[in-house]
């Protein structure tokens, strides 16, 4: 694997950036606004307020947990849906409950989008163009009317590889750049770019000769990125002298990509994500018997290299996969406030783990039937008071926003 272009390529790119700092053209369009579907409930387990923002029989899914689903001001929440007949990007208006079809009919699917870290914008890759969408929202003029939503698109940059598809997009830590990954259609080859939002300058952070997934940006260091080096979560037999690490990192220095958490033989590592204070959270365990897997929620401090269990899993000989998965975790993400880490399992249970004490509280349960339906993929709103996840309790996947109970927020547990 090679991490950098040749010196000639670097000089060419720098020259091109000077000549073409950003593509200047833009488009605007008015979106289709759909009536509200939301249903407001109280979770019977925790008493947490819970809003099903979608209730249609379509498959509706929140954005992946290391992509941001919420605008910073909370006015819009983004999700994907197949209700039009193919997968598209939609939004939920918090003020009215209305749903908004953001893509124009006939546009290509945008598989990766993310809301801004600081700016009230959505970032998408459309026809090789990396774009910023800003929104003009006008409330209904009369009772029973609909809001109007207009998108103003700015093209930030054009990806250099025509024969590729986007594999990830993330806002970086200072909000000045986007991290964008691409995957070539005709061969196993991936590139990860740092793209300046103001000028459109593109710098390559890394390229690999293997599949990269879960591409994401550090919350603390502007040019630091992480990705999953392969989708095989558990380390198989490791050749002597070799390192097996699902989690890999790179930055804009001359350093080659490096492993973050070298695994021992048989160790599970999966669904890593950046968190506050130069930490990452992930699921990991060493015990397994087929699909009966031990999976703790762990926190790794990148400054010290020390990892700890914040949400314990469990495993026992003879336990069936369905039984064991009730006590283990598969996805997790940390609250932007730094107070909690949320974890979900194969049964759709969602728990909060205190960042200070590692104490657990179950927030809600049974949003998935083992072996069927979308995983919750639990994520957070910007201030860390609400989680967003997929629920299958109605028979199809719906997007749910659950507010952390007020007393939990006030207590130091």
Q: How confident is the model at residue 395 (pLDDT cuts 50, 70, 90)?
A: very high
Instruction: Reply yes or no on whether the pLDDT at 32 is more than 50.
Output: yes
Domain of 400, in residue numbers: 29-410
In this structure, of 16-25, 56-65, 179-188, 391-400, the range with the lowest mean pLDDT score is 16-25
Domain assignment of residue 330, yes or no: yes
Instruction: Reply yes or no on whether the pLDDT at 329 is more than 70.
Output: yes
Domain assignment of residue 244, yes or no: yes
pLDDT digits (tens, 9 = 90+) for 236-285: 888 888 889 999 999 999 999 999 999 999 999 999 999 999 999 999 99
Residue 142: the pLDDT is 82
Q: How far apart are CA 196 and CA 157, in angstroms?
A: 9
- β-bridge mates for residue 114, sequence order: 123
Stated length of the chain: 413
Domain assignment of residue 90, yes or no: yes
Q: How far apart are CA 83 and CA 92, in angstroms?
A: 14
More confident residue, 8 or 81: 81
The radius of gyration of the chain's CA atoms, rounded to the nearest angstrom, is 21
* CATH number (domain holding residue 141): 2.130.10.10
Instruction: Reply yes or no on whether the pLDDT at 69 is more than 80.
Output: yes
Domain assignment of residue 102, yes or no: yes
Domain assignment of residue 4, yes or no: no
* Total domain count, the chain: 1
pLDDT digits (tens, 9 = 90+) for 346-355: 999 999 999 9
pLDDT digits (tens, 9 = 90+) for 84-111: 988 999 999 999 999 999 998 778 777 7
pLDDT digits (tens, 9 = 90+) for 120-151: 999 999 888 999 999 999 999 888 889 999 99
Q: Which residues of 241-257 are buried (b: 16+ CB within 10 A; e: fewer)?
A: eeebbbbbbbbeeeeeb
Chain-wide mean pLDDT for the chain? 91
Residue 23: the pLDDT is 47
Residue 231: the pLDDT is 62
Domain assignment of residue 10, yes or no: no
């Amino acid at each position: 694997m090679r991490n950098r272009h040749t010196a000639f390529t670097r000089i060419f790119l720098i020259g091109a950036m000077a000549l073409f700092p950003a593509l200047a053209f833009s488009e605007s369009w008015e979106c289709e606004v759909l009536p509200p579907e939301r249903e407001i409930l109280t979770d019977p387990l925790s008493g947490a307020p819970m809003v099903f923002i979608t209730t249609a029989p379509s498959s509706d899914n929140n954005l992946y947990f290391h992509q941001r689903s919420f605008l910073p001001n909370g006015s819009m929440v983004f999700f994907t849906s197949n209700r039009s007949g193919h997968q598209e990007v939609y939004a939920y208006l918090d003020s009215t409950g209305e749903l908004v079809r953001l893509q124009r009919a006939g546009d290509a699917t945008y598989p990766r989008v993310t809301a801004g870290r600081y700016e009230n914008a959505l970032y998408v890759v459309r026809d090789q163009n990396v774009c910023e969408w800003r929104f003009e929202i006008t409330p209904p003029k009369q009772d029973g009317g609909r809001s109007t939503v207009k998108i103003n698109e700015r093209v930030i940059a054009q990806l250099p590889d025509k024969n590729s598809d986007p594999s990830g997009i993330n806002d970086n830590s200072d909000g000045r750049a986007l991290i964008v990954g691409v995957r070539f259609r005709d061969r196993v080859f991936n590139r990860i770019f740092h793209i300046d939002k103001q000028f459109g300058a593109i710098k390559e952070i890394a390229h690999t000769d293997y599949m990269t997934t879960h591409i994401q940006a550090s919350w603390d260091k502007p040019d630091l990125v992480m990705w999953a080096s392969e989708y095989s979560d558990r380390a198989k037999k490791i050749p002597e002298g070799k390192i097996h690490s699902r989690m890999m990192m790179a930055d804009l220095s001359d350093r080659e990509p490096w492993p973050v958490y070298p695994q021992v033989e048989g160790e599970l590592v999966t669904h890593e994500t950046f968190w506050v204070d130069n930490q990452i959270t992930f699921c990991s365990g060493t015990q397994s018997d087929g699909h009966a897997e031990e999976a703790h929620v762990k926190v790794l401090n990148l400054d010290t290299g020390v990892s700890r269990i914040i949400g314990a899993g469990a495993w026992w000989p003879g336990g069936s996969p369905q039984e064991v998965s009730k006590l283990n975790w598969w996805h997790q993400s940390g609250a932007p406030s730094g107070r909690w880490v949320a974890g979900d399992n194969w049964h759709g249970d969602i728990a909060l783990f205190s960042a200070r004490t590692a104490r657990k509280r179950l927030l809600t349960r049974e949003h998935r039937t083992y072996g069927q339906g979308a995983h919750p993929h639990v994520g957070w709103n910007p201030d860390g008071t609400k989680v967003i996840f997929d629920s299958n309790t109605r028979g199809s996947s719906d997007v749910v926003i659950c507010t952390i109970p007020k007393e939990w927020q006030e207590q130091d547990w």
